[in-house]
Structure 1
Amino acid sequence: MTKDRKQLISLHHITKSYKNGDQELQVLKGIDLTVDEGEFLAIMGPSGSGKSTLMNIIGLLDRPTSGDYSLNSNQVEKLTDKKLAAVRNEEIGFVFQQFFLLSKLNALQNVELPLIYAGVGVGQRRKLAQQFLEKVELSDRIKHLPSELSGGQKQRVAIARALVNDPAIILADEPTGALDTKTGQQIMELLTELNQEGKTIIMVTHEPEIADFAKRRIVIRDGEISADTTDSVRID
């Protein structure tokens, strides 16, 4: 790991609990984690381990019960809900297993959505959306509705949408879960290429062969990090 890399994420003793009647279910039990700019991190763990909860907290979709979270120098616990939404739109691009494209909007319009929320003018956002659809090799599908696209093409639209605001971090939650093996491989090659270009990628997966694309892997068990491994640096 490069020593002068900027630290994007710092989690210190993050806990998350939910009330279930008189019972309190503790899902995360004191997570300490840092992620630097340019990392490709896979979060793994069995069902119910807390990995999705951790991803939701990193993505500002949920707040921790206790602990400190710094995202790109923002102290998250001090942010209002409005500021959280703004930071989420500016700093994080989301890629989900089920794509979450709006069915009545074409590919170009779906990619434009984060730019609309950011207040970007129509001419500039159309130009940027076209640029990022070209980047994911979908320039010939910009007017197609989601129903007219394959699963792999839908995920490429979702990746273009995640990239269009130039976020610091791409969060990918089971990005190949709804895809066949060959298409999943292509999506992972695209994410690898984006990481090589400098994007920070954090991915939740339960598939070891998908996690192998990441340079760093952590395993969550019973709400705690049980393993944190990084690929050895190769010198050619």
Structure 2
Amino acid sequence: MTVDDSKKELIHLKGITKSYRNGDQELEVLKGIDLSVHEGEFLAIMGPSGSGKSTLMNIIGLLDRPTAGSYDLSGQAVESLSDAKLAHVRNMEIGFVFQQFFLLSKLDALQNVELPLIYAGVPASKRKKMAKNYLEKVELTERMKHLPSELSGGQKQRVAIARALVNDPSIVLADEPTGALDTKTGNQIMELLTELNREGRTIIMVTHEPEIAAYAKRQIVIRDGEITQDSLTPDQG
């Protein structure tokens, strides 16, 4: 498996391990993960339940810290950063799309998309314009004043994608982005992510569904905390 080394390396993991204490026992979830991801890639992380794929995603997304190993994000060593600095880097560099959407129920679609901009200190007038632009991009202009309870599952996920993009992050992390959707709606969401990747977005996605992973350009498989396969998706070169 080869990647385009002419593109900027966004993620470099070396010897990443993650262990948890369970009484007297130590459970090793990740066992020396080495992984590089370059700008513009569309990577699917696959593996059975308990393989460590979600733990790896949490570490990549700066939601969890590794037990050992090094992690460079856009050339910055992140494993030694303070929690406050990690939160800042996470807000500026990474956009998240989750299976359960995680929209705030009392905020409308526009306000949900604005949230990362509020945390980033963007003035109100500018952030409203930016949020509207991204809702337009995901074809939800007419629904921006609707609460999550008034949106379909696919519309909620489109709001979540707009929210993930609004800070112009280096990387979009999608954790089972179609898991709560029917097949047709899930395919529509994947077409949207594919189009965003064509525009140059770097996307890393966790999924257990081969037909969803097939949208990605590259697939890695994790079993028992180790990468056992790293290959280009068929028809992707």
Which interval holds the TM-score relative to the shorter structure? over 0.9
Look up the equivalent residue of 1:136 and give its one-letter code. V
**Amino acid aligned to 1:183:** T
Q: What corresponds to 1:9 in structure 2?
A: 11
Aligned pairs for 1:174-189 within 5 A: 174-189=176-191
1:144 aligns with 2:146: yes
Tell me how far apart the structure 1 counterparts of residues 81 and 6 of structure 2 sit (CA, whole Å): 28
- 1:155 aligns with 157
Give the equivalent residue in structure 2 for 1:31.
Answer: 33
Match of 1:83 in 2: 85
Alignment equivalent of 1:223, drawn from 188, 203, 225: 225
1:234 CA displacement? 6.7
Q: Aligned equivalents of 1:136 and 1:202: distance in 2?
A: 19
Shift of 1:73: 1.2
Deviation, structure 1 residue 4: 1.2
Give distance in 2, aligned partners of 1:168 and 1:112. Answer: 18
TM-score (norm 1): 0.98
Kept in 1: contact 2:217–2:236 (CA 8 A): no
Residue correspondences, number: 235
**Distance change >3 Å, CA 234–CA 129, structure 1 → 2:** closer
**Residue aligning to 2:123:** 121
User: Can you list the C-alpha shifts for 1:96-147, whole angstroms capped at 9, x where unaligned?
Assistant: 0000000000000000000000000000000000000000000000000000
The residue type equivalent to 1:124 in the other structure is K
Question: Which structure 2 residues correspond to residues 57-96 of structure 1 after superposition, within 5 A?
Answer: 57-96=59-98
- Conserved? CA contact 2:15–2:70, under 8 Å: yes
Which residues in structure 2 correspond to 1:197-236 (within 5 Å)? 197-231=199-233
Change (3 A) 1:234 1:180: closer
How far the C-alpha of 1:3 sits from its partner, in A, is 2.9
Match of 1:133 in 2: 135
* Secondary structure in 1 matching 2:58: helix
Q: Secondary structure at the match of 1:77?
A: coil
RMSD of aligned residue pairs (Cα, Å): 1.1
Q: How big is each residue's C-alpha offset from its partner over 1:34-65, in whole Å with a ceiling of 9 and x where there is no partner?
A: 00000000000000000000000000000000
**What TM-score, normalized by structure 2, do the two folds share?**
0.97
**Contact 2:5-2:38 at 8 Å conserved across structures:** no
Residues 167-203 of structure 1, C-alpha deviations (whole Å, 9 max, x = no match): 0000000000000000000000000000000000000
Structure 1 distance, partners of 2:137, 2:130, is 10
Shift >2 Å, 4+ stretches: 231-235
**What is the one-letter code of the residue matched to 2:195?**
E
Q: Matches of 2:4 and 2:181 in 1, distance apart?
A: 34
Q: Which runs of 5+ in 2 are unaligned?
A: none
